[in-house]
């Protein structure tokens, strides 16, 4: 089931067959919820690590007066806080943005796997550190970039992350969130997000309709976003592996499209849905 997670981790380490089997075993308890439901709430005592299988979710925090900040997005293959058990209670909430399928991984299951699979341990470390790096980049993004740059940067990041788990197709990927949610994530108002998106559209930077984002000219979008993919740390040896393919690369022509334009080794294109 956790194909997306496996695929993502292989951007960093090369997993053995046994490693992959162990990861498969983690997704025992699968739950499904509708859109706009909380999975964990601020103040709760965390009991398991959630692995997103299908749909989007987000980390968010709400201020006393109702203002809401989306702190990060979760897409398929993402783990919510692998090491959360150290803390007594959640300092933020996690909620679904779309209908969601996710696995609840008990603490012991995760420990069991990492005890026996050092490569997985390393890979989850990498996952955790990249998540932290993304968080830092969001600080930079919200703190320094203009609305236009900010939206562009967010879209660049989301596209690459989706491509890493095989959810992009050419220069397109799903973007199943409302403008209000984009606003909560960027620290703008929904009205201004709307205007910003239209500006990006009329500049030919993006095509966005029916929840599908297309980026006609990746280099151009990255340029206005001052986007530098280094913080996603995709430079490692597994970067070119496709989890669904045999271990040996087909070699020669790249299976996907537009690889180098995005980052050193982003991996090939994937197929929508899996």
Partner DNA sequence: CGCACTCTTGACGAGTTTCAATGTAAGTGG
Partner DNA sequence: CCACTTACATTGAAACTCGTCAAGAGTGCG
Name the residues that contact a copy of itself, by CB under 8 A: 42-43, 59, 61, 63-65, 67-69, 71-72, 83-84, 86-89, 91-92, 122, 125-126, 128-129, 132-133, 135-140, 142-145, 186-187, 226, 230-231, 233, 235-236
Q: Of the candidates 60, 61, 49, 59, which has an alpha carbon nearest to the alpha carbon of residue 102?
A: 49
What residues contact residue 165 under an 8 Å CB cut-off, 6+ apart?
Answer: 4, 5, 7, 8, 75, 76, 77, 270
Residues binding DNA (CB under 7 A): 146-148, 178-180, 187-192, 194-195, 197-198, 210
| SS3 at position 18 | helix
The minimum distance between CB 185 and a copy of itself, in angstroms, equals: 8
The minimum distance between CB 95 and a copy of itself, in angstroms, equals: 15
Residue 178 binds which entry of a copy of itself, DNA, none, with Cβ cut-offs from 5 to 8 Å by kind? DNA
Nearest 5°: the CA angle 183, 95, 122 is 100
What residues contact residue 29 under an 8 Å CB cut-off, 6+ apart?
Answer: 48, 103, 104, 105, 106
Residue 139 binds which entry of DNA, a copy of itself, none, with Cβ cut-offs from 5 to 8 Å by kind? a copy of itself
φ, ψ dihedrals at 21, nearest 5°: -60, -45
Residue 140 binds which entry of a copy of itself, DNA, none, with Cβ cut-offs from 5 to 8 Å by kind? a copy of itself
What the block records as the tokens of 146 is 């203009």
Residue 69 binds which entry of DNA, a copy of itself, none, with Cβ cut-offs from 5 to 8 Å by kind? a copy of itself
The minimum distance between CB 84 and a copy of itself, in angstroms, equals: 8
């Amino acid at each position: 089931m956790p194909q997306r997670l496996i695929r993502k981790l292989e951007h960093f380490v090369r997993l053995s067959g046994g490693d992959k089997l162990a990861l498969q075993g983690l997704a025992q308890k699968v739950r499904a919820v509708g859109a706009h439901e909380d999975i964990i709430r601020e103040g709760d005592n965390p009991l398991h690590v959630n692995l997103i299988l299908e749909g989007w979710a987000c980390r968010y925090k709400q201020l006393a007066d109702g203002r809401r900040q989306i702190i990060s997005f979760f897409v398929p293959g993402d783990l919510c806080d692998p090491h959360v058990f150290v803390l007594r209670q959640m300092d933020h909430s996690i909620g679904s943005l779309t209908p969601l399928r996710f696995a609840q991984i008990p603490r012991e299951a995760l420990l069991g796997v990492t005890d026996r699979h050092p490569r997985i341990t390393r890979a989850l470390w990498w996952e955790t550190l990249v998540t932290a790096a993304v968080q830092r980049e969001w600080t930079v993004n919200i703190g320094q970039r203009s609305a236009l740059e900010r939206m562009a940067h967010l879209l660049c990041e989301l596209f690459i992350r989706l491509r890493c788990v095989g959810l992009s197709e050419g220069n397109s990927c799903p973007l199943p969130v409302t403008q209000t949610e984009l606003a909560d994530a960027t620290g703008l108002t929904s009205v201004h997000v709307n205007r910003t998106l239209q500006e990006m559209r009329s500049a030919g930077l993006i095509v966005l309709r029916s929840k599908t984002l297309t980026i006609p000219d990746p280099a151009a979008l990255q340029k206005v976003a001052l986007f530098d993919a280094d913080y996603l740390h995709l430079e490692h040896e597994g970067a070119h592996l496709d989890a669904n393919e045999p271990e040996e690369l087909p070699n020669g022509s790249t299976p996907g499209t537009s690889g180098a334009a995005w980052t050193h080794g982003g991996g090939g294109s994937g197929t929508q849905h899996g």
